[in-house]
Chain A
Amino acid sequence: MLYDRIFAGAFLVLSGLIAWTAYHFNVPFQYEPLGPKAFPLILSGIAALCCVWLFIKPSQNTWHPTKEVWVKILSGLGIMVLYAALFEKAGFIISTTLVGTIFSWLFGEKLLKAFLYALVLSPISYFLLADLMQLNVPVGILFGE
């Protein structure tokens, strides 16, 4: 199965949904001829045409990920989701140390060295970002409140 066909099919369904949603917008009043429906409708029409074209003339698959690559990408993704989940609750320093360690390790560093790097990186960055640049960086449970 060619990826382009899968993509075209999925996007075709999506553009149908978009068109249906746009058509059923509840517009109580409108002072102009075009209104809020027309533009999304036109776009979904163009999208549908493109999808049909892409379905008929797809490109060859150029991406052949190995199992190892999948594991790497999915683990990277998992760590980012974890980072997002921990960021506010655990705070910047703890979550960055943890996530930084794993990322550094994924890119070939030895685990201990990766941990030491992340351990140094996160408090220094916290100081730079939160105190020096006055950014909104979450303190987290351990250090704040």
Chain B
Amino acid sequence: MDVFHYLALGFSVALTPLNLGLVLAGCFIGTLIGSLPGIGPINGVAILLPLAYSVGLPPESALILLAGVYYGAEYGGRISSILLNVPGDAGAIMTTLDGYPMAKRGEGGRALALSAVSSFFGSMGALLLMVIFAPLLSKLAIQFGPSEYVWLMIFAFTCLATMVGKRPIKTIVGVVIGLLLATVGIDSGTGILRFTMGIPNLFDGVDFLVVVIGMFAISEVLILLESWARNDLKLTPVGKSFVSFADLMAVKWVIFRSTISGFLIGVLPGTGASIASAVAYGTEKRFAEGKEEHFGQGDIRGLAAPEAANNASAAGSMVPMLTLGIPGSGTTAILLGALLMFNITPGPLLFEQQPNIAWGLIASMFIGNIALLVMNLPLIGLFVRLLSIKQSYLVPVIVMLTFVGIYSIHGDTFDLFFMIVLGVFAFILRKLGFSLAPVILGLVLGKVLEENLRRALSISGGDWFILFDGAITYVLAIATVLAIVLPKVMKLRKK
């Protein structure tokens, strides 16, 4: 079998001492970042990206590290949700609903252990699905031409607009801002300069890292400054930590269903962990109706469902990123940008031409999940203690790392100032209710979208009907229309 051959190759990459160390480090840092309130996976990956780049890690190693941070953070997010009632990241909001009541009852240890196991099964299940479906999807994607890619990206943006945030219009504005940022610099087709305003630093385009760090890390520091108040968060005592067989049996189907729905939602471009966990929670609540349910009061099913789903969606969102080059979430958009910086273009050919990267990453995720289970069961006390790190110690470190990370790329102070400008801009956007993920998605996909659009029209000699040529374009066009119509219909039905 092909798959086993490739998996073996993947493990041979992932088990080299450097990569093994990076998986463990990534998972540890990820859990830590996820558990600290306010700093989610997207910030963690953003802060570490320039460091990983400047240190000169090989691309597969950098990807393994950053991916470890990503899914590690999905584990860590639950710790503060359960113990503090403060979600560590957006994907862990649903976990507070039943996790915190359990902790208040003195069952914090039981909640932490059960959610760790749910996370583990969610991730592992999604990884198996990934091993099966990613190669299939990449085989299908080989037939994609420029028109199909244009549609795929429009589909991704549409999903993002209709499913994320309250105002679709603001998501579209965000995407357009990202796409416009991507047009800055030398045009690859004709060599003319676009929107550089005569600044030499912009001739190569806006630096992806500067945008990511500025928009996420710097604006996050400003938000932390604003929201900081002198209140000491009270940790609920953890209690005895254990996983009982009876608990596991009670939630086995919950985990199974949530893993599958989480994976599928993760695969859908633009939708990520927060939607996956909300859908899983809602589904399980409906399933349990009538039968002894205490959702919202510390029901273990309400704890297992969102945790299995948000971890499954993290793995799921890697699938379109690796096979199509279309990220499934904001964080995978950053991972995609990281790969592009290493001159690796993810897409259908990645699995065949650079199997060490694609399969090395998948294998490392198997290892990482086992490591995370170990870290999150016996070592949970350590992370709980780290939760009480004061922000007065944390923020200086964040600011320092962002500055060092950005400066070390080109050794130019211009980037630092540009980063701050972007940070302020992002802060304003966030305060006005815009989400930043669409901007990053637009930035990452901007060049690809323009190139494919121009290529498609070159093929047709300027005839726009090339966008409706072939069965796949129709399928994608219909999917796009459905992505606009379906959420509206569902809303009407709810009423």
Contact = CB atoms under 8 A, between A and B. Distances in A.
B294 interface: no
A58 B166 CA distance: 12
Contact of B194 (A36, A57, A137): A36
A107 interface: yes
Given A33-B462, A59-B167, A25 B230 contact: no
A144 interface: no
B367 to A, nearest CB: 23
A63 B429 CA distance: 11
Interface string A8-39: 00010000001001100111111111111011
A7 interface: yes
A7 B169 CA distance: 13
Contacts of A108: 228, 230, 390-392
Interface residues of B, number: 62
Contacts of A54: 169-170, 173
Contacts of B392: 103-105, 107-109, 114, 117
Contacts, number: 185
Interface residues of A, number: 71
Contact of B218 (A33, A34, A39, A80): A80
B15 interface: no
B417 A84 contact: yes
B477 interface: no
A10 to B, nearest CB: 10
Nearest to B458: A32
B465 to A, nearest CB: 13
A142 interface: no
Given A34-B458, A46-B176, A88-B413, A117 B396 contact: yes
Interface string A111-137: 000100110011001000100011111
Contacts of B51: 133, 135
B192 A25 contact: yes
B396 A136 contact: no
Given A47-B176, A104-B392, A138-B407, A121 B397 contact: yes
A11 B173 contact: yes
Interface string B329-362: 0000000000000000000000000000000000
A136 B54 contact: yes
A104 B395 contact: yes
A134 to B, nearest CB: 7
A99 B176 contact: no
A36 B196 CA distance: 14
A133 B55 contact: yes
Contacts of A85: 413
A65 B226 contact: yes
Interface in B362-420: 390-393, 395-397, 399-400, 403-404, 407-408, 411, 413, 416-417, 419-420
B169 A81 contact: no
B179 interface: yes
B148 to A, nearest CB: 18
Contact of B393 (A18, A104, A133, A135): A104
Contacts of B427: 73
B417 A40 contact: no
Nearest to B413: A88
B222 A87 contact: no
B457 interface: yes
B462 A34 contact: yes
A141 interface: no
B247 interface: no
Contact of A47 (B173, B390, B432): B173
Nearest to B225: A76
Contacts of B225: 72-73, 76, 106-107
B433 interface: yes
Contacts of B226: 65, 69, 72-73
Contacts of B166: 59
Interface in B304-321: none
Given A83-B403, A136-B408, A34 B190 contact: no
Contacts of B257: none
Interface string A42-64: 01101100110110010100110
B474 interface: no
A21 B166 CA distance: 33
Nearest to B172: A50
Interface in B285-309: none
B457 A32 contact: yes
A129 B190 CA distance: 41
A34 B453 contact: yes
Contacts of A107: 224-225, 228, 390-392, 395
Nearest to B419: A84
Contacts of A35: 189-190, 454
A105 B54 CA distance: 30
A22 B460 CA distance: 24
B238 to A, nearest CB: 26
Given A59-B433, A76-B225, A99 B407 contact: no
Given A80-B423, A107-B228, 17 more contacts: A32-B458, A34-B462, A35-B454, A36-B190, A43-B183, A47-B180, A59-B166, A63-B431, A77-B420, A81-B417, A88-B413, A99-B396, A104-B393, A106-B228, A106-B395, A121-B400, A136-B411
Interface of A: 3-4, 7, 11, 18, 21-22, 25-36, 38-40, 43-44, 46-47, 50-51, 53-54, 57, 59, 62-63, 65, 69, 72-73, 76-77, 80-81, 83-85, 87-88, 92, 96, 99-100, 103-109, 114, 117-118, 121-122, 125, 129, 133-138
10 contacts: A3-B431, A7-B428, A22-B194, A25-B192, A30-B189, A32-B458, A53-B169, A62-B433, A106-B228, A136-B408
